[in-house]
Amino acid sequence: MSELFLVARIAGQAVAVASRSVESVVDLGEVTPAPLAARHVLGLATLRSRIVTVIDTAGTLTGEASAAPPRRAIVSAIEGHHYAFVVDALDDVAELAAQPLDPGIALSGHWADAASALVEPAGEAALVIDLAALVPGNLHSRCN
């Protein structure tokens, strides 16, 4: 069964996020650091008169903080809070059929926590990721 996905790149990897999890995609402005925040929280930003927590998505997934300044992000509401998940690039929106991950696929870092399936936009494999798994402190996350 096909589903609508937003295809993006994080840490050079093609990823897909179910459109039902995406509130919007944005160009980030100034990000204000948040003292004592979890290590992969870049800070807070204001988007459309709303404050969002900005997540270093690549850093969360790979374990290494991103060096590049945050520019583009996927905004999602999770448990009543808004988060901006920084991405390298936004590629496409496409209706795709998700396939289960092969048990033989070894994912490093926190990719295994976030990835749930594979899709193939334009013939390239992309990991389907759950944005909620990337929120520090989330029960599904081991990112703290």
The per-residue pLDDT string of the chain (144 residues; one tens digit each, 9 = 90 and over) reads 799 999 999 999 999 999 999 999 999 999 999 999 988 999 999 998 899 999 999 999 998 888 888 899 999 999 999 999 999 999 999 999 999 998 878 888 889 889 999 999 988 999 999 999 999 876 344 444
Nearest-angstrom CA–CA distance, 134 and 29: 21
Fold observed for domain 2-134: OB fold (Dihydrolipoamide Acetyltransferase, E2P) (2.40.50)
Whether the Cβ atoms of residue 42 and residue 70 lie closer than 8 Å to each other: yes
The CA distance from 87 to 66, in Å, is 10
Residue 79 CB coordination number (10 Å): 8
Quick one: pLDDT at residue 19?
Answer: 97
Q: How far, in Å, are 12, 91, 129, 140 from residue 103 at the CA level?
A: 22, 27, 16, 19
- pLDDT value for 108: 84
Q: Terminus-to-terminus CA distance in the chain, angstroms?
A: 35
